[in-house]
């Protein structure tokens, strides 16, 4: 029996030696493959290196170096989702590898895994305290939830220099803007232009500086405005129509005022939302029957779609009064898709639906009242585009389509139109804003207001030109002079009119 035991032990020893030799040969072969792959990767040939690395990892699955190199190659090819697994293996096999933790955090961020990215970057921060990538990516994770904290991270990354500049300074500027710190945001964005003139980052900074409405996203704001106008046709009188007996003048002056307030309630993980309220009122000097008051309220919800797009849904409610009598209630929703096209500018696709519930009732013939009752559903859809030519000049405009289905059949109509405008900064802090629009609006039926009656369906062509000149007079306060001309050309005499409105107003704005 002892002899048999000795023979079994000898066989086991030989088998173990063979296993050890085979493992050593596999390790040697894996090391050769890894070295070959590393040379290819260093020459920029990661695509050729990847199949070699996978073979090396099959031969030696516990090699942290092979896993890290595979993850690095996939990350450099922007194949972030594929890079996560080998980088996670590298971080597990070598807990002291700060490089593996850093790349794992960066790849996880690009795949949208916020929790995984945060955990890996915290670990990388302990192991690589001087690497600028760590505060940069931690700032990106904080950008939506806490832009002020994100800005501090970006500025820390920028302070460490290296290849991350001027990207870190650009993101710091955007974060300061999101936090409402406009002056600091502008300083940082101009710094980007100085650091890398002509680069893509300088171009983005230039776009941001020229489009403050896009970049400086306020979290809360209050705007007050008031003005005085003279309207040459306050009654919208047609050229061949007599004034009503109870109206003293076709033209009238008016004082007007308004307020708008908004508050962002949340912004986190690509979502945002808030509430908005506004009020407008006016008082005519002679014809108080035309005094108007409008109240509005809405909420909005934003969803970020990628780096350059934002979807906004905004339910709305409003109520209007003429001479303090209930006149109109409307309920609606606005859907917008905002997209930054980069060099060509920024655009907004939109659709707006409203139900207009008119509160007035026409006395007399019930049939006539039902014909003229304008309660109905309106839809407007279009595209608005903004393009900054340079730091002093911007153009904007776009086409639109409208449709109105009324309970009173004479108001059923559709229309197409377009508008365009240019804004130009002038000397002495003046800003000139000119815009114009034109719309063709055919109606489905003739108007009962036509005298004498006609069988022709009503058709309107509506043209508008407006010129405004503004200048800041105090901090947060702007004075504007404005002229507006409207020509409502119609084949129905009561709707065939024009009007001139000239006046001035003051705007006081607060926000952060």
Residue closest to 53 by CA, chosen among 24, 94, 86: 86
Could you tell me what percentage of the chain is helix, strand and coil, using 3-state DSSP and rounding each to the nearest 5?
40, 40, 25
The reported pLDDT for the residue numbered 17 is 44
Residue closest to 230 by CA, chosen among 290, 293, 285: 285
Q: At what angle do helices 64-76 and 80-93 cross, to 10 degrees?
A: 160
Contact indicator for 292, 322 with CB cutoff of 8 Å? yes
Residue closest to 55 by CA, chosen among 44, 66, 65: 66
Backbone angles phi, psi at 484, to 5 degrees: -135, 135
pTM for the predicted model, two decimal places: 0.61
| Alpha-carbon span 59 to 125, nearest angstrom | 32
Q: What is the DSSP letter of 443?
A: B
| Alpha-carbon span 380 to 348, nearest angstrom | 13
Contacts of 189 (CB under 8 A, 6+ apart): 170, 173, 205, 208, 209
The reported pLDDT for the residue numbered 21 is 41
Residue closest to 315 by CA, chosen among 353, 349, 285, 341: 353
The reported pLDDT for the residue numbered 326 is 78
Residue closest to 297 by CA, chosen among 313, 315, 281: 315
For the chain, residues with pLDDT lower than 50 are: 1, 8, 10-11, 13-26, 212-216, 245-248, 365, 368-371
Work out the burial of residue 270: count CB atoms within 10 Å of its CB; fewer than 13 is exposed, 13-18 middle, 19 or more buried. middle
Q: What topology does CATH give the domain 218-511?
A: Porin (2.40.160)
The reported pLDDT for the residue numbered 212 is 46
| Alpha-carbon span 336 to 383, nearest angstrom | 9
Measured from the Cβ of residue 124, the count of other Cβ atoms closer than 10 Å reads 26
Measured from the Cβ of residue 245, the count of other Cβ atoms closer than 10 Å reads 6
Contact indicator for 345, 386 with CB cutoff of 8 Å? yes
pLDDT tens, position by position, 237-278: 656 555 554 444 577 889 999 999 998 887 777 788 899 999
Q: Where are the chain's structural domains?
A: 218-511
DSSP calls for 82-99? HHHHHHHHHHHH-TT-HH
The reported pLDDT for the residue numbered 379 is 94
Sign of CA dihedral 398, 296, 412, 238: negative
Contact indicator for 177, 217 with CB cutoff of 8 Å? yes
> What's the chain's average pLDDT?
80
Residue closest to 279 by CA, chosen among 237, 334, 239, 224: 224
The reported pLDDT for the residue numbered 24 is 44
Measured from the Cβ of residue 471, the count of other Cβ atoms closer than 10 Å reads 13
pLDDT tens, position by position, 114-123: 888 888 888 8
Contacts of 179 (CB under 8 A, 6+ apart): 147, 148, 151
């Amino acid at each position: 029996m002892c002899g048999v035991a000795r023979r079994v032990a000898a066989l086991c020893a030989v088998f173990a030696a063979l296993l050890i030799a085979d493992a050593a040969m596999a390790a040697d072969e894996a090391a050769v493959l890894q070295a070959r792959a590393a040379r290819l990767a260093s020459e920029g040939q990661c695509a050729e290196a990847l199949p070699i690395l996978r073979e090396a990892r099959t031969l030696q699955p516990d090699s942290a170096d092979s896993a890290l190199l595979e993850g690095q190659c996939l990350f450099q090819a922007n194949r972030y989702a594929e890079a996560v697994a080998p980088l996670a293996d590298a971080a597990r096999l070598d807990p002291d590898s700060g490089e593996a933790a850093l790349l794992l955090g960066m790849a996880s961020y690009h795949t949208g895994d916020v929790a995984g990215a945060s955990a890996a970057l915290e670990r990388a921060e302990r192991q690589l305290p001087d690497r600028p990538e760590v505060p940069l990516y931690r700032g990106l994770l904080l950008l939506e939830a806490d832009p002020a904290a994100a800005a501090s991270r970006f500025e820390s990354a920028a302070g460490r220099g290296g290849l991350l500049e001027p990207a870190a300074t650009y993101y710091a500027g955007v974060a300061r803007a999101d936090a409402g710190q406009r002056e600091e945001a502008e300083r940082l964005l101009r710094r980007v232009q100085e650091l890398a003139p002509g680069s893509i980052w300088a171009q983005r900074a230039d776009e941001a500086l020229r489009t403050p409405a896009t970049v400086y996203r306020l979290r809360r704001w209050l705007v007050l405005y008031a003005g005085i106008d003279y309207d040459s046709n306050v009654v919208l009188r047609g050229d061949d129509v007599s004034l009503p007996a109870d109206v003293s003048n076709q033209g009238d002056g008016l004082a007007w005022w308004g307020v708008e307030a908004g508050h962002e309630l949340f912004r986190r993980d690509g979502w945002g939302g808030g509430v908005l309220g506004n009020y407008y009122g006016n008082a005519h000097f002679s014809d108080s029957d035309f005094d108007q008051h409008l109240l509005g309220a809405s909420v909005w919800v934003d969803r970020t779609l990628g780096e350059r797009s934002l979807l906004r849904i905004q339910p709305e409610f409003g109520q209007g009064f003429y001479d303090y009598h209930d006149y109109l209630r409307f309920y609606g929703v606005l859907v917008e898709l905002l997209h930054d096209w980069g060099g060509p500018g920024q655009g907004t696709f939109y659709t707006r639906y409203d139900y207009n519930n008119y509160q007035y009732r026409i006395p007399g013939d019930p049939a006539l009242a039902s014909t003229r009752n304008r309660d109905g559903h309106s839809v407007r859809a279009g595209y608005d585009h903004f393009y900054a030519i340079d730091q002093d000049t911007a153009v904007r405009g776009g086409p639109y389509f409208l449709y109105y289905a009324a309970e009173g059949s004479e108001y059923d109509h559709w229309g197409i139109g377009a508008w365009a405008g240019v804004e130009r900064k002038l000397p002495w802090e003046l800003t000139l804003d000119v815009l114009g629009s034109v719309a063709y609006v055919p109606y489905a039926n003739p108007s009962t207001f036509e005298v004498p009656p006609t069988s022709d369906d009503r058709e309107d062509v509506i043209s508008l030109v407006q010129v405004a000149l503004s200048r800041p007079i105090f901090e947060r306060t702007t004075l504007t002079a404005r002229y507006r001309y409207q020509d409502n050309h119609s084949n129905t005499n009561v709707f065939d009119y024009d009007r001139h409105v000239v006046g001035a107003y003051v705007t006081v704005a607060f926000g952060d």
